[in-house]
Amino acid sequence: MGKARHFRRIMRDGAAPIVDLVYPPRCPACGEGIGEQGGLCAACWEDIAILTDPSCAACQRPFGPSGVTEGGLCLPCMAKPPLHDGIAAGTLYTETSRKLVLAFKHGGRIAMAPMLARLIAARVPPGSPERVIVPVPLHRWRLWRRGFNQAALLARELEKLGCGTLSVDLLQRHKATESLGGKGRKEREKVLSGAIALSGKEGWQVQGRDVLLVDDVLTSGATSSTCVKVLKKAGARSVSIACFSRVLDEALDHAA
* Most confident residue range from 70-74, 103-107, 203-207: 103-107
Domain boundaries, the chain: 1-47, 51-254
Looking at residue 194, its pLDDT comes to 77
Indicate if the pLDDT at residue 193 is higher than 60.
Answer: yes
Instruction: Please state, in angstroms and rounded to a whole number, the distance separating the CA atoms of residues 109 and 111.
Output: 5
**What are the φ and ψ backbone dihedral angles of 133, each rounded to 5 degrees?**
-100, 120
Instruction: Please state, in angstroms and rounded to a whole number, the distance separating the CA atoms of residues 94 and 151.
Output: 19
Looking at residue 19, its pLDDT comes to 41
* Helix axes 95-105 and 113-121, enclosed angle (nearest 10): 130
Tell me, which fold does domain 51-254 have in CATH? Rossmann fold (3.40.50)
Of 125, 217, 114, the residue nearest 164 (C-alpha): 125
* Helix, strand, or coil (residue 146): helix
Of 37, 40, 31, the residue nearest 16 (C-alpha): 37
The model's pLDDT over 123-167, given as tens digits with 9 standing for 90+, comes to: 998 888 889 999 999 888 888 888 999 999 999 999 999 999 999
The model's pLDDT over 24-65, given as tens digits with 9 standing for 90+, comes to: 678 888 888 866 766 788 888 888 888 877 888 888 888 766
Instruction: Please state, in angstroms and rounded to a whole number, the distance separating the CA atoms of residues 168 and 159.
Output: 11
* Cβ–Cβ < 8 Å for 242, 88: yes
The model's pLDDT over 214-242, given as tens digits with 9 standing for 90+, comes to: 999 998 888 899 999 999 999 999 999 99
Of 230, 174, 222, 224, the residue nearest 206 (C-alpha): 230
